[in-house]
């Protein structure tokens, strides 16, 4: 696993290789297919829910007025779609228990 505190695609593929026994190439392909399916669903406007892990939810934010912190001038912020992640209760419990 990663030593710098970041889990990468390669780390996921390596873990799959060790745990399931798939070849490294097949493990990498499976990871890419899963992430690709998630990205495709999100780009089509669908939310992604992974039981026991969490939900990736798309939210539409309306136009609003913001302020340039340097000059203080008000500027309009265009409406946009944002992606949020909400961890499942099971994941939150595991994270708290790890502390």
- Apex CA 86: angle with CA 65 and CA 40, to 5°? 85
Q: What are phi and psi of 23, to 5 degrees?
A: -65, 160
- pLDDT (0 to 100) of residue 98: 73
- pLDDT (0 to 100) of residue 30: 96
Domain 47-99 has CATH 4.10.520.10: yes
Per-residue pLDDT tens digits for 6-52:
999 999 999 999 999 999 999 999 999 999 999 999 999 999 999 99
Task: Kindly list the domain boundaries of the chain, sorted by start residue.
Answer: 1-45, 47-99
- pTM, two decimals, is 0.77
- Apex CA 41: angle with CA 53 and CA 50, to 5°? 10
Per-residue pLDDT tens digits for 48-83:
999 999 999 999 999 999 999 999 999 999 999 999
């Amino acid at each position: 696993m990663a030593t710098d505190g970041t889990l990468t695609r390669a780390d996921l593929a390596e873990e799959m290789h060790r745990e399931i026994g798939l070849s490294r190439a097949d493990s990498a392909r499976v990871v890419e297919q899963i992430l690709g399916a998630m990205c495709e669903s999100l780009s089509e406007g669908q939310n992604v829910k992974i039981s026991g892990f969490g939900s990736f939810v798309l939210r539409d934010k309306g136009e609003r007025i913001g302020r340039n912190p340097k000059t203080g001038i008000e500027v309009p912020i265009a409406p946009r779609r944002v992606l949020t992640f909400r961890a499942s209760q099971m994941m939150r419990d595991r994270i708290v228990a790890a502390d």
